[in-house]
Amino acid sequence: MVTLKTNRYLTTPGLSIREYEVISKNFDEQKITLPDRPYNDLTDGGMQAKLNLSNNLFQVTLLLSAALAGLMIARDNEAHLVLGKLPELIMFILAVLLLLLSFVSHLLFFNEVSYLYFLAGKLYDPTRPSVPDITDQNVSFLLSNQLEYLVVGMVLVALTFFSAHNLTRKKNKP
């Protein structure tokens, strides 16, 4: 088994930035060894399934972000209720931050996978085609984080909308 080595500069756990001199001057390089997998149609299908999952989670995050933006554009009396009280404002800001982290995790996951594809192309051996294993924890944690941030963000979005609905209903009661 041939193992492929990639270099990572640690700014935050798992954040991989290879191009910037500022990072290489200020942070230690950590060698990460990823096992390889034989490249065939099944392996390619598995990699495409993970990429599609990340894309779908990204689209759900976009939808939730649009719903939160809708709260800002909502009728004046409802939007002011949601963002006018401190607990609702905190929930709103946290939901936005979690959805933003989900976006960032998606971008980093795609960056890592595309880098690994390029690395596999660079080290291609026609007698034994293989690709780095993207299910390795050093890569797949980004997809897991994307899902976790999205789920917690969805809960906060739901609570924010529920809070807005309850506050609006209480205000309209005689």
Residue 78 reports pLDDT greater than 60: no
Q: Which of 126, 100, 137, 132 is CA-nearest to residue 113?
A: 132
Number of domains composing the chain: 1
Report the residue count for the chain: 174
Structure tokens at 21: 């001199």
132 forms bridges with which residues in the sheet? 36
- The whole-number pLDDT of residue 10 equals 31
pLDDT of residue 76: 57
Residue that has been written with the tokens 């989670």 in this structure: 57
Instruction: Please report the pLDDT score of residue 146 as a whole number.
Output: 92
Cα–Cα distances in angstroms (integers) from residue 99 to residues 33, 52, 166, in the given order: 30, 18, 23
The tens digit of pLDDT for each residue in 42-76 reads 888 888 899 999 999 999 999 988 887 877 776 55
pLDDT of residue 152: 93
Whether 86 has a pLDDT exceeding 80, the answer reads no
Check residue 166 and give its pLDDT.
64
User: Looking at per-residue confidence, does 12 or 105 come out higher?
Assistant: 105
For 69, the domain range is 3-172
* Inter-residue contact 36 to 3 (CB < 8 Å): yes
pLDDT, mean of residues 120-130? 81
Q: Band the pLDDT of 151: cuts 50, 70, 90.
A: very high
Alpha helix locations (H) across the chain?
A: 21-26, 41-73, 76-84, 86-122, 137-172
pLDDT recorded at residue 148: 94
Task: Give the pLDDT of residue 81.
Answer: 47
Please tell me the predicted confidence (pLDDT) of residue 131: 84
pLDDT of residue 7: 44
Average pLDDT over residues 10-36: 56
Angle between helices 86-122 and 137-172 (to 10 degrees): 160
| Six-digit token string for 18 | 């290879």
Rounded alpha-carbon distances, angstroms, from residue 157 to 100, 127, 141: 13, 51, 24
- Is the CB of residue 26 less than 8 Å from the CB of residue 9? no
